[in-house]
Structure 1
Amino acid sequence: MTDTLDATRTGGPVSPSRSALRPLGQDEVRFVGGFWAEKQELNASAVIDHCLTWMERIGWIGNFDRAADGTVAEHHDGIEFVDSEVYKLLEAMAWELGRTQDAALAETYRSLVERVAAAQEPDGYLHTSFGREGQRPRFSDLEWGHELYCFGHLFQAAVARVRTGHDDLIVDVARRLADHVYREFGPDGRDAICGHPEIEPALAELGRALSEPRYLDLARSFIERRGRRRLKTTLFQSSEYFLDDVPVRDADTLRGHAVRAEYLAAGAVDVAVEFGDDALLAAVERQWAHTVATRTYLTGGVGSHHQNEEFGSDFELPPDRAYAETCAAIGSVMLSWRLLLQSGDAAYADVIERTLLNAVLVSPREDGRAFYYANTLHQRELGSVPAEDQLSERAEASLRAPWFEVSCCPTNVARTLASVASYVATASPDGVQLHQFGDIDIETSVAGSPVRIQVRAPGYPFDGRVSVTVDAAEEIELSVRIPSWASGADVSLGGEPVLPKDGYVRVRRVFDPAEPLLLDLPMTPRLTYPDPRIDALRGTAAVERGPLVLCVESTDLPDGDHVDAVRLRSDTAPTATPDGAAAPVDLVSSAFGGWPYGTAPHADPRTAAVVELRPYFQWANRGPSTMRVFIPLAGA
């Protein structure tokens, strides 16, 4: 076995064998400064170490040591799927090593992989909660055991290692485990599925990365087995919760448990692409469109039910009861990226930007050592500060908590930030497409000819000025997304205006490196009004600035007023501040009356004020506060 791989096998988290657009790997695109580089540095310096420290401290990594020495049945820490958190951390480390080649991290990574590998059984099976004397039998609880789910995350950790140029121990572990899963669930094995989808996209990517068609065949089998109502339900968890109510290709929208739904849809796209199943791909495109139109929060978050972490019905999007799990937002990015690669449709890139900057980045605290699991859009009560050394309930942390009893979100954030550059740009046979902005260096090839592109947007997402410099000897087509929010964007090349079409400006020419494409994306704050079918939001509006959703936080109100005292004036536009907006509002009396209903509209005493609105992802970094995104209108 060799430790390194040919460069043709490198890339990012997703690498379809055929697609309209080719994703670029870490060896081709990277953030070199600005906003996203700062987030990646935070991930490298704080988030990854924080995850490792907590999982060592509470025994989740120690489970592998005890599995190796035969004592884990006597003492296992955490619930059934904590193995997956270790695997997501390994994936984050692998992507980070591909980005930085940090020697200390490499040693930590090597040691952790060896501890995981030591727990693998001779036939390839690897799980710390099942199969040994004193534990439940293997695959005896497919509804809740999460065995295949955990395997999927190990496979994705191995894919990250392969795609950053290595074929070493974690890849060998994944091969042996995938072969075991194929024997158990392949054509001659069990006709069954896992209660939590994840293995589907993971097997597809592992099959792509290792050029192993059996893994792709098994991914297809798992997709096609859905919808037969084979998983045992309970009073509270239906077949819809498990995504086992109808076949994937027959569903009209994403439904059930939000993370499960996003992961399954991502796997369905992978399978559809590899097997040329246009009907399956069209089904997922239909589901995505319906979900974005009726079941998605302004932040890009999804999942309005705390019960079962599920999607609600169409237009059931209460801001104060939003669950909007961080992992579901990451799943949305995974799905939208796959669909973007197949179609080149700017709508997918728009959702990726919205979701990353708002629904994902709201999770980590500004120091990278505490996280939100669920993400409300309206906090009515002051949060309580969680202890820095104690576990928290996953959805009951009113401020970001350092760790949860179910801590899927911190490790998911870590692997996403480590690989976020992979969602920036693509290539095609005749050009390069830029989907996201920042300080970015791209080095790739088009039709065998080298292309170097420098994107400079040092103030983005707070400032909309972007320059794109292309250095290529041959004629290429450069496509740059103009976000759907950027109406009136000023785009020019050599002093001549360039007009967008279908969400992108496209320029085909031999570029002069001394003549950059210049974008000035408008950052004027704007009012956003909800669809009237969203009952909980009638009579309100939100404020957005550029790609950022803003919010009002009690920390910025005079005299400690509650955010529910704010009434947004729609007759006077908000003005821009360096990273948010100053909004004219009325503050209503907070005095309680004897009865909150009447025969005429309430006319509370009001005082005029101007309040500062800040990016939603930054909220709750200054101590306990109340907060809201959608603000009642002064005339409502």
Structure 2
Amino acid sequence: MESTTALDPATALEPATALESATALEPATALESATAPESTRTTESSTRATVHRPAGPVAPTDAAAVALRPLAGRAVRLDPDGFLGRWQRRNATETLPHCVTNLERDGALDNLRHAARGERQRFSGKWFADSDVYKTLEAAAWWLGHADDGRLTELLDEVADVLAAAQREDGYLNSWFQLMDPEHRWMNLAVGHELYCAGHLLQAAVAAIRGGVGPRLVEVATRLADLLVDRFGGDGRLGICGHPEIETALVEFFRCTGNRAYLELAAGMVELRGRGWLAEHSVDTGLGGSSFGAAYYLDHMPVREAGAATGHAVRQLYLEAGVVDVAVETGDRSLLAASERIWEDLFATKTYLTGAHGSRHRDESIGDRYELPPDRAYAETCAAIASFQWNWRLLLATGRARYADELERVLYNAIAASTAVDGRHFFYSNPLQLRVDHDGTEEDAARRQAWYKCACCPPNLARLLASLDAYLASSGPDGIQLHLYSAATIATWIGDSPVELRVDTEYPWRGRIAVAVASTAAAGSWELALRVPGWCDRTPTVTVNDEPMDAEASDGYLRLRRAWREGDTVVLDLPMPARLVTPHPHLDAVRGSVAITRGPLVYCLEQVDLPDGVRLDDLRVDPAAAPIPVAIAGLLDVPVGVVAHGFVEPDGEQALYDTRERPPHARRPIDVLTIPYFRWANREPGAMRVWLPTA
């Protein structure tokens, strides 16, 4: 342990001053970009969709029944030296270009070029590869809202031209069916992913509209959306997709264009799901079917009646995001309550400690209650992203802090773990344990892969990270709420008055969050709400202009109301001791084990951090010894590790199954360094555990 130093809360990791050295967004520029003049909203289909105001990925209309509203697009600027800012920048410089390179290499872009040229029987990759192109375009469009990038602008324009050339006269666009099976379009919605791909094209267009880029892409998407209304609009023609996603895309496209037909189609699809439509109307077109049953497709029970999360994890979570979108735009409280029932079942009994979902490899599905094996966790990256999207929508709809807590947990653990430090290697599944002699497949690997045959995860990560700043804060009737903490500048409005805040923090390594009022024109009092995370079970401290204040949280938020003035500074300090976590008694797979957490982070132990000759399988943790945070330097860009005290108990000569009394073994004490789970597998290959057996 020579490389570590005990972390003294009073002196270690002094507060960062990253914002002082960062290039701050000029107030005039920030406020100008956050509040572009209101444009006329379209009420009919148009090839020139317009937007109410610049916005992020989720922008409920003024009439939507929501408790909180996201800030206008580009209102938040992540400090490039902050944790989330560095991550977003790495996404722009490494992950996004990597996606473009691999889409070109593996033929996904060529599929669309072949369709544009009218060529037949020429296709590479999965039949839903179009969706990966669209997710990458969405990432490019969001990032162009942050920075001028000629290469990304060229990419958007060139691919949009290809899409326009490939699109059929009626608006249809799907390279697989156009190249390989044009006679069966719309006939295998259970498996064909046509609506799923269309949804991702619409979401790319949403990003283009709100970023003020890619007008040709918007035209293509609008033609396709109009075709969906013509083909599926109305009770007699409704259909659903085997892979939900189109629902939330249609709602967001309605929010951009004002065309209510898109919302009505999404609402109809939500109501139709769960009534066995897919089994009755899907024809085997050569893509095959599924032996997993109706629950796999979420077509086994009407949405309003379902009370348990089940089936394919990504599909369940994407569906719920669309359900919430429809509920808030139609003011349907019972529909929102139905989604919250699914949430309560999922997060009470079927969620991994890292916030991940999906315990079964066979069908990538959510398992039974408490079925959460660490080594067999499927925990697909896309499911983690879908959980993030759903929880954000529930947070806006209700204002409840529990949804922000889950945003944070899944972001800092399951999502963050998916990507290597180089930004160009990824996990598809995210297990919580890797056995000493593990022999994995592509999706169940001991190492992250540069790309996958089913390449859904990398471009999904790219689009989330490109828009990550949109999820830090929101506005209420007369105040601002901070949900995720990272060094940033926030330029928004209180009523008609501009306000700019600067957030200075080393979160998630330190619990100190300083929020300064950089400028304000608001004359009266307004509320600044700072989330006190659910993991914080000790009373935080808070000062305003160095004066101690009452730190009691209300509904998960510390709410401070006053007539704020320029220069006012709030400092919230969240205690961050390291903790041992015990599992529910029914969670058989990790019974008798503990996990280590600190703040929002889950920690893990890797074989590489053990002395020579010590096997991870032979380690036992002493549950009576408190883990100790330590400052570490030069290790995977991680400033804080946690040391746990335990024992090494070699297995000796014990048989696999043995009725004899186990002979005594020499037990020797050992201190072990654990690192944040999201940084595992960035060094030499080897075993890993989140859940550690106790002595």
Which interval holds the TM-score relative to the shorter structure?
over 0.9
Deviation at 1:498, TM superposition (A): 2.8
Give distance in 1, aligned partners of 2:113 and 2:348: 47
Which deviates further from its counterpart, 227-236 or 494-503? 227-236
Partner of 1:14: 58
Deviations 1:569-589 (A, max 9, x none): 111111112322011111111
Deviations 1:508-552 (A, max 9, x none): 111233331101122211111111110111111100011100000
CA RMSD, Structure 1 to Structure 2 (Å): 1.9
1:601/1:594 CA distance change after superposition, 3 Å: closer
> Where do residues 107-146 of structure 1 align in structure 2 (5 Å cutoff)?
107-131=154-178, 135-146=182-193
Matched, 1:402 2:450: yes
Partner of 1:532: 585
Match of 1:100 among 147, 162, 166: 147
3-state SS, counterpart of residue 444 of structure 1: strand
Give distance in 1, aligned partners of 2:596 and 2:78: 28
Give distance in 2, aligned partners of 1:168 and 1:394: 38
Partner of 1:497: 549
Give distance in 2, aligned partners of 1:134 and 1:343: 45
**In the alignment, is the contact (CA less than 8 A) between 1:131 and 1:137 conserved in 2?**
no
Partner of 1:177: 224
Give distance in 2, aligned partners of 1:352 and 1:539: 28
Which deviates further from its counterpart, 137-146 or 394-403? 394-403
Partner of 1:389: none
Partner of 1:563: 616
1:25/1:585 CA distance change after superposition, 3 Å: farther
Which deviates further from its counterpart, 304-313 or 102-111? 102-111
**In the alignment, is the contact (CA less than 8 A) between 1:384 and 1:399 conserved in 2?**
no
**What is the TM-score normalised by the length of structure 2?**
0.87
Matched, 1:587 2:648: yes
> Letter of the aligned partner of 2:581 in structure 1?
T
Matched, 1:69 2:130: no
Matched, 1:486 2:536: yes
Give distance in 1, aligned partners of 2:533 and 2:687: 31
**In the alignment, is the contact (CA less than 8 A) between 2:57 and 2:467 conserved in 1?**
yes
Give distance in 2, aligned partners of 1:604 and 1:246: 55
Deviation at 1:189, TM superposition (A): 6.0
1:195/1:595 CA distance change after superposition, 3 Å: closer
Deviation at 1:384, TM superposition (A): 7.5
**In the alignment, is the contact (CA less than 8 A) between 1:428 and 1:446 conserved in 2?**
no
Deviation at 1:131, TM superposition (A): 4.0
1:2/1:225 CA distance change after superposition, 3 Å: closer
**In the alignment, is the contact (CA less than 8 A) between 2:49 and 2:222 conserved in 1?**
no
Matched, 1:611 2:672: yes
Deviations 1:438-497 (A, max 9, x none): 11111111111111111111x211111110112323321000001111222222223222
> Where do residues 97-496 of structure 1 align in structure 2 (5 Å cutoff)?
97-131=144-178, 135-166=182-213, 168-187=215-234, 190-232=237-279, 236-381=291-436, 394-457=442-505, 459-470=506-517, 471-472=519-520, 473-474=522-523, 475-488=525-538, 489-494=540-545, 495-496=547-548
Deviation at 1:176, TM superposition (A): 0.2
Give distance in 1, aligned partners of 2:296 and 2:49: 42
Show structure 1 runs of 5+ residues with no match: 386-392
> Letter of the aligned partner of 1:429 in structure 2?
P
Deviation at 1:602, TM superposition (A): 7.5
**In the alignment, is the contact (CA less than 8 A) between 1:241 and 1:310 conserved in 2?**
yes
> Letter of the aligned partner of 2:247 in structure 1?
E
Matched, 1:510 2:563: yes
Give distance in 1, aligned partners of 2:173 and 2:445: 32
**In the alignment, is the contact (CA less than 8 A) between 2:311 and 2:365 conserved in 1?**
yes
Give distance in 2, aligned partners of 1:602 and 1:37: 54
3-state SS, counterpart of residue 542 of structure 2: strand
Over the matched positions of the two proteins, sequence identity in percent amounts to 45
Deviation at 1:325, TM superposition (A): 0.4
1:235/1:146 CA distance change after superposition, 3 Å: closer
**In the alignment, is the contact (CA less than 8 A) between 2:473 and 2:484 conserved in 1?**
yes
Give distance in 1, aligned partners of 2:690 and 2:204: 36
Give distance in 2, aligned partners of 1:540 and 1:600: 23
**In the alignment, is the contact (CA less than 8 A) between 1:5 and 1:165 conserved in 2?**
no
1:136/1:396 CA distance change after superposition, 3 Å: farther
Partner of 1:624: 685
Give distance in 1, aligned partners of 2:400 and 2:235: 40
Give distance in 1, aligned partners of 2:221 and 2:49: 16
Match of 1:576 among 613, 616, 629: 629
> Letter of the aligned partner of 2:416 in structure 1?
L
1:78/1:590 CA distance change after superposition, 3 Å: same
Matched, 1:52 2:105: no
3-state SS, counterpart of residue 105 of structure 1: helix
